[in-house]
A and B are shown apart, each in its own frame.
Chain A
Amino acid sequence: MIELRGVTKSVPSGTGTLTILHPLDLIIRHGTVAAVTGPSGSGKSTLLGLVAGLDAPTAGTILIDGIDITSLGEDALAGLRGTRIGFVFQFFHLLPSLTAYENVLVPMEIAGARDGATRASALLAEVGLTDRSHHYPSQLSGGEQQRVAIARALANDPPLLLADEPTGNLDTATGHTIIELLLNINRSRNTTLVLVTHDPELAARADISIALRDGRVVETRTVSRKPADDVAAADVEAKEGVG
């Protein structure tokens, strides 16, 4: 479960401070698919970075599975990312000098996992790339690269998957495949999935959708995709920021 309490982000600018994210409270329960939407510069990526511990909030706390990540040191954060968070980027960001297989293997090696080899093969099989596992990223198409990235994100079987415009750099058909893949993962592994996206199709299929504009939440929408599920879809509360 992800819980944001009064999270604010501002950065110094020429004359004063620029507030990228106004105070925000947000809870995303385990197994939920959450889509964050909004125009460029609305604070989507900032929000994602804060959740991943890649950036620290100016104020407020962020809890992941009850752990306050804002109080963690860099190495603890790295450990958290390695084992509990998977990343999927718009530009794939595979390591260019490693093969697909090795890219998947890296997080497990970092975490010191023992069964990395078999797991990496299994994950590549899961995204349908067994026969391309020894290719370098430059030899793969965009869709293939993104599938490798997804396999890599799943390497340590994280409970949370963060995806930054995962289809933004792909054609519609390929994007569609990637969406299906991500949703499948959410379903089959009960992984929490937080997506930043422009893609209305993807937003529409999320459990909750959070629309940002100028660092404020302007709309939240809960989709009862799994009515039988007793888990509350979302509990979102936006407050007006102080600026």
Chain B
Amino acid sequence: MRFVVRMTVRELRASWRRLVFFFVCVAIGVGAIVALRSVIQSVRGELVREARAMIASDVIVSTNRSWDPDVRRQIEERLAQPSVLDRTEAIETATMVRAAGRGVARMVELRGVQAAFPFYGQIELEGGLPYSHDLLRDRGAIARPELLAQLGIKQGDALLIGGQPFTVRAVLSKEPGRRTGAFTFGSRVFVDHADLQRSGLLAFGSRASYQLLLRVEPAGVESLTRTLRRDFGDRFVNARSYRSTEDNISEDMARAENYLSLVGFVIVVLGGIGVWSVTRVFVKQKIRSIAILKCLGATTRQVLATYVAQVLLLGLTGSALGIGLAAIALRAIPDSMTSALGGQALALTGSAVMQGLAVGLLVSLLFSLVPLLEVRRVRPLLLLRGGDPSIVTVPPFAFAQWRDRVRAIDWLQVSAAVVVSAALVGIASWQAASVRVGLIVCGGFAGVALLLLGAGALMVRAVRPLARTRIFALRHAVLGLRRPGNQTRVVLLAVGLGTFFVLGVRALQSNLLDEFSLELDRGGADMFLIDIQQDQVERVRAFLADRIAPGSAPARLIPVLRARVTGVRGREVNLDNFQDVRGRGSLAREYVITYRDHLEANETVIDGEFWSGQGVQPRAAPELQVSIERSIHERFSIGVGDLMRFDVLGRVVQARVTSVRDVEWEDSRNGGFMFVFRPGPLSAAPHTYIGLVRAPDAPTARAAMQHDLVESFPNISAIDVRDVVASVQGIVENVTLAISIVGGIALFGGVLILIGAVAMTKFQRVYEAAILRTLGASTKTLSAMLAGEYTTLGLLAGAIGAAGALVLSWAVCRYVFEIDWRPAPLLLIGGALVTMVLVAVIGVIASADVLRKKPLATLRAE
């Protein structure tokens, strides 16, 4: 033991300068893992916080009938379990309110809450007033500024709710749990739960949502929601959790989580590659010493212990250094970015540190213990030949039959490899969280690795003719590639896999951000006007022109009609023809249709021709032209040329299908329509318009606009979705930013790891460079030789990695994110080229000291 310790100390002391390089390389790998995992955890935490704030609880159980006592009792029984930590009740209902003594009544959306509301998120009040449930007690109310403006009252005044006076004690600026409600016509007013129950508004026939808000142990959320839904779904009770993927924001969050898992997984692999490239060189350099020690009488166990101890120390110190680097890196992320993550400073998390350490140690161990175990078998006889120590471990079974090979398998070595690999896979799975992500990435890993090995072999064969070239540098570059035991495979594997992951993550990021950017249309409509009558269109347009938010696009007014399909291809729509639509919606239902002369940005024609630029259809046309949506085409087998009959407000209209459109529903800010008609005849039918408006941001201006609108057009209702749009956008923005940060760290870390891996290969070039140097090769020639070799490797690895990244991003978009995939050709081609240049530059620079050094020093040191 003393020998082991002493040897370890001495070796580390003597070669610390070189070891520093090793440490740094290990540290970068581990540091990238730790930093990224920490950020991911912070981001995840914030995503969960925001998701919870959107329903103000973990699980919400609601019914739109007053609680049936029997159902309620059964639900209570179900909730009497330890995972349900806390609960509160709420009621939501629409009602008309008035200012005391004044006539105008306005519709509001009342929410009666108890003291515990909200479990998550905060009710924010104007003037920085802190929210407390006491504000609501004894007929207090909290209302939106728009409402106060419309009613002409202010904080402290009375509001008549259900004919009873409530005092407006505060003005609401932001509320949690907004997602619970459907879009409503009224603005929010908070009152006390008990006051609402006593208001007389909740009588027989009242429409209200009765809600149970629950705080639940994280592990119990999904199962509770599922069982409640299953058992009470047919009794008008709905249950959902903050994780329910019922709307796009949940889907976005799920996608973001998957992305984070993926990046976490990838960085573990990349970090592993980094540590591997270091350990590999380290062990290689120690083989001769091991042989010598065996000659000097050291037992296998002593030798193994000595070098495994060194590797572990290397891994441990490197990992510690990496954790330090990660801490510094996290601190270097500007506060402006972290504010998106809930304003918390990013810090190392315990599990991130553990994971980084574990990966650092396990990968060092995997790539040191396994080759070192070979030492037991190989006798250091070759030392006697005075030969190259690196061939000490040449497998002695190169020519053996497979039976001999099997017999020759070192089972201890194999089992060590299996155990350590299993531990690594465990860590990676822990990080991946999603089995599907893990499978895709592992598949990609294996596929690209095989491809790289195959390509390496092919390339070596392909460049063979070049070995006869008269250009010295090129000839030696080629010979270098073909040299047995050279770095070709290492560089190809490390760089190729690294490029694959970095570009794959990058391509996914751009796809994901594209998807999110659709929801970040800051200038998009945030108020919807419905029921605009035909004779009001021009006046409404004029009214809105000088009232919409400055700089925003003019309001869009879209004509809408109601229609039912009554026949297709001369047949009536009936059960016989469309039996297969049972349970999937019916063609005979009421559809909202429109007419226009152009395609929207989110539409593409997939069959036939749209009438863009063909003008209006004459009123007297015997049949109209209609463009149908792809799902109608697919579900009901209706295609271009088919004649359809519609019942439009009691009249039969014939229309010929002239095109099939694909509507991108995710991007349907202009509305999505199953049936779009060519303008002309339909404009004679009575219909209304909906208005998409970007209302002014200032609450008072909004309130004034709504007020004036109702005064001038009493039949038009405005649906204000500013809060919802703003909170959705806020979240999407945060998610976007978080993904950019994570992607940035992954890119930075990945590139550093690759630099390390490439730089590591210099140790194999040193000896040869020195010999060539001795033979009179100039620095220029040597540089050109190295550059040629590394450029070839970089290009090949980059190209294969980029191709793999293309496939990876496609597979993940399709099967994990379930979003449309767009290739990122510029990114991938650029990535491959940058990889090539980077590898060449690093390869040459890393070997610079070899080129500078006197050859004898190198030869001696070796």
A–B touching in complex (CB under 8 Å): yes
Distance of A106 Cα from B298 Cα, bound (Å): 9
Contact at B299–A75, with CB atoms within 8 Å? yes
- Complex CA–CA separation, A49 to B291 (angstroms): 13
Whether A122 sits at the interface, judged by CB under 8 Å, is no
Complex CA gap A79/B2 in Å reads 17
Asked whether B606 is an interface residue with its Cβ less than 8 Å from the other chain, the reply is no
- B219 in the interface, Cβ–Cβ < 8 Å? no
Does A81 contact B384, Cβ atoms closer than 8 Å?
Answer: no
In the complex, whether B128 has a CB less than 8 A from a CB of chain A is: no
Chain B residues with CB under 8 A of A97:
10-11, 13-15, 289
Chain B nearest CB, measured from A38 CB (Å): 14
| Residue interface mask B326-361, A partner, CB < 8 A = 1 | 000000000000000000000000000000000000
Q: With an 8 A cutoff between CB atoms, is A177 at the interface?
A: no
Beta-carbon contacts under 8 Å, A94-133 to B: 94-99, 102, 106-107, 109-112
Q: How many whole Å from B218's CB to the nearest CB in chain A?
A: 52
Q: Which stretch in A26-34, A85-93, A182-190 binds the other chain? A: A85-93
Q: Does B3 contact A (CB under 8 A)?
A: yes
User: Closest Cβ of chain B: how far from A217's Cβ, in Å?
Assistant: 19
Give complex CA distance A112, B292 in Å. Answer: 18
A112–B299 Cα gap in the complex (Å)? 12
Answer yes or no: A192 CB below 8 A from chain B CBs: no
Q: B328: shortest Cβ distance to chain A, in Å? A: 31
Q: Contact check, A138 vs B861: say whether CB atoms are below 8 A apart.
A: yes
Question: Which residues of chain B (348-387) have a CB below 8 Å from chain A?
Answer: 376, 379-381, 383-386
Contact B386 A164, beta carbon cutoff 8 Å: yes
B288 contact from A54, A81, A93, Cβ within 8 A: A93
Cβ-neighbour of A81 out of B6, B296, B857 (below 8 A)? B296
Residues on the A chain within 8 Å of B771, using CB: none
A165 to B383, CA, bound (A): 12
Question: Residue-by-residue, is A10-39 near B (CB-CB < 8 Å gives 1, otherwise 0)?
Answer: 011110000000000000000000000000
Tell whether B620 is near chain A: CB-to-CB under 8 Å: no
**Taking the complex as formed, is A74 at the interface, i.e. its CB lies under 8 A from any CB of chain B?**
yes
Does B174 have its Cβ within 8 Å of any Cβ on chain A?
A: no
| Cα-based distance from A54 to B13 in the complex (angstroms) | 30
Determine whether the beta carbon of B302 is less than 8 Å from that of A165: no
Take A54-B379, A54-B384, A109-B6 as given contacts and tell me if A98 and B299 are in contact as well, using a CB distance cutoff of 8 Å. no
Nearest B residue to A53 via CB reads B379
- Closest residue of B by beta carbon distance from A91: B386
Closest CB in chain A relative to B733 CB, distance in Å? 55
B385 touches A45 (CB 8 A): yes
Contact indicator B15/A107 (Cβ below 8 Å): no
Question: Mask for B377-418, Cβ within 8 A of A = 1, else 0?
Answer: 001110111100000000010011000000000000000000
**Are the C-beta atoms of A54 and B380 separated by less than 8 Å?**
yes
Asked if residues A89 and B383 are in contact (CB atoms below 8 Å), the reply is yes
- A interface size (C-beta, 8 A): 47
A82 within 8 A of B: yes
Are the C-beta atoms of A109 and B2 separated by less than 8 Å? yes
Question: Does B419 have its Cβ within 8 Å of any Cβ on chain A?
Answer: no
Residues of B within 8 A of A216 (CB): none
* CA of A138 to CA of B862, assembled, Å: 9
Knowing A55-B381, A79-B297, A96-B861 touch, does A110 contact B11 (C-beta < 8 A)?
no
Chain B interface size, as a band, is 35 or more
Does B300 sit within 8 A of A, measured CB to CB?
A: yes
- Counting CB contacts under 8 A, is A236 at the interface? no
CB-defined contacts of B589 to chain A, threshold 8 Å? none
Complex CA distance for A45 and B6, rounded to whole angstroms: 32
Q: Separation in Å of the B311 CB from the closest CB of chain A?
A: 15
Residues B379 and A49 in contact, CB atoms below 8 Å apart: yes
Query: Which residues does chain B contribute within 8 Å of A81, judged by CB atoms?
Result: 294-297
* B861 contacts A106, C-beta separation under 8 Å: no
> Chain A residues with Cβ under 8 A from B400's Cβ?
12
Of chain B, the residue at the smallest CB distance from A141 is B860
Instruction: Answer yes or no: A83 CB below 8 A from chain B CBs.
Output: yes
Asked whether B605 is an interface residue with its Cβ less than 8 Å from the other chain, the reply is: no
The verdict on A2 contacting chain B, using a C-beta distance below 8 Å, is no
Least CB distance from A185 to B in Å reads 17
User: B299 contacts A74, CB within 8 Å?
Assistant: yes
For A12, A78, A89, the residue with the greatest tally of chain B CB atoms inside 10 Å of its CB is A78
The chain B residue sitting closest to A102, CB to CB, is: B10
Nearest chain B CB to A68 CB, angstrom units: 18
With A54-B380, A96-B289 as given contacts, are A78 and B10 in contact (CB-CB < 8 Å)?
Answer: no
- Cα distance A75–B297 when bound, in Å? 9
Kindly list chain A residues whose C-beta atoms are within 8 Å of the C-beta of B396.
Answer: 11
Given A13-B399, A110-B302, A95-B293 contact (CB < 8 Å): yes
Instruction: Give the CA-CA distance A156 to B298 in the complex, in Å.
Output: 13
B298 & A82 in contact (Cβ 8 Å cutoff): yes
Q: How far is the CB of B496 from chain A (nearest CB, A)?
A: 33
CA distance A15 to B808 in the complex (A): 46
How many residue pairs, one in A and one in B, have C-beta atoms under 8 Å apart?
A: 109
CB pair A83–B297 under 8 Å, yes or no, is yes
B-chain residues with CB within 8 Å of residue A83 when the two chains form the complex: 297
Closest partner residue, chain B, to A95 (CB atom): B289
A60 at the interface (CB under 8 A from B): no
On chain B, the residues within 8 Å of A1 by CB distance are: none
Residues of B close to A165: CB separation below 8 A: 386
Q: Which of B1-40 contact A (CB under 8 A)?
A: 2-3, 6-7, 10-11, 13-15
CB–CB B300/A45 < 8 A: no
Contacts of A111 in B (CB 8 A): 297
Cα A54 to Cα B15 in complex, Å, equals: 28
Residues of the A chain whose Cβ atoms lie less than 8 Å from the Cβ of B3: 106, 109-110, 112
B821-842 CB contact bits vs A (8 Å, 1 = yes)? 0000000000000000000000
B289 cross-chain contacts in A, Cβ below 8 A? 95-97
Q: Are B384 and A78 in contact (CB under 8 A)?
A: no
- Which parts of B280-294 form the interface with A (CB within 8 Å)? 288-289, 291-294
Docked pose: A93 CA to B381 CA in angstroms: 13
B744 to chain A, nearest CB (A): 40
A78 to B2 alpha-carbon distance, docked (Å): 18
Contact A110 B300, beta carbon cutoff 8 Å: no
B301 at the interface (CB under 8 A from A): yes
- By the criterion CB–CB under 8 Å, are A107 and B296 in contact? yes
Chain B residues with CB under 8 A of A233: none
Q: How far is the CA of A94 from the CA of B376 in the complex (A)?
A: 21
- Shortest C-beta distance, B783 to chain A (Å), equals 25
Which A residues are CB-close (under 8 A) to B13? 97
Interface residues of B in 554-575 (CB under 8 A from A): none
- List chain B residues, Cβ under 8 A from A138: 857, 860-861
CB distance from B313 to the nearest CB of A (A): 14
Point out the residue from B293, B857, B861 that lies within 8 Å of A110, measured CB to CB.
B293
A12 touches B399 (CB 8 A): yes
Q: Which of B292, B376, B379 touches A95 (beta carbons < 8 Å)? A: B292
From residue 294 to 329 of chain B, which have CB atoms closer than 8 A to chain A?
294-302
The answer to whether B297 touches A93, judged by C-beta atoms less than 8 angstroms apart, is no
Give per-residue flags for B773-800: 1 if the beta carbon is below 8 A from chain A beta carbons, else 0: 0000000000000000000000000000
CA distance in complex: A235, B442 (Å): 66
* A164 in contact with B384 given A74-B299, A82-B296, A110-B302 (CB within 8 Å): yes
Q: Contact between B300 and A89 (Cβ–Cβ < 8 Å)?
A: no
B566 CB, nearest partner CB in chain A, Å:
85
B381 x A54 contact (CB < 8 A): yes
| Chain B residues, Cβ within 8 Å of A74 | 299-300, 376
A94 surroundings in chain B (CB, below 8 A): 292
Cα of A14 to Cα of B399 in the assembled complex, Å:
6
Is residue A168 within 8 Å, beta carbon to beta carbon, of the partner chain?
Answer: yes
| Residues in chain A near residue B861, CB distance under 8 A | 96, 138
B297 touches A110 (CB 8 A): yes
Counting from the closest, the 8 A-B pairs by CB-CB distance are: A82-B297, A97-B14, A81-B297, A49-B381, A45-B384, A90-B386, A109-B3, A78-B299
- 25 inter-chain pairs at a CB distance below 8 angstroms, sorted by A residue, are A11-B396, A13-B399, A14-B399, A45-B384, A54-B294, A54-B295, A55-B379, A75-B300, A78-B298, A78-B300, A81-B296, A82-B296, A89-B386, A91-B386, A93-B292, A97-B14, A97-B289, A98-B11, A99-B14, A107-B296, A110-B3, A110-B302, A136-B14, A138-B861, A156-B297
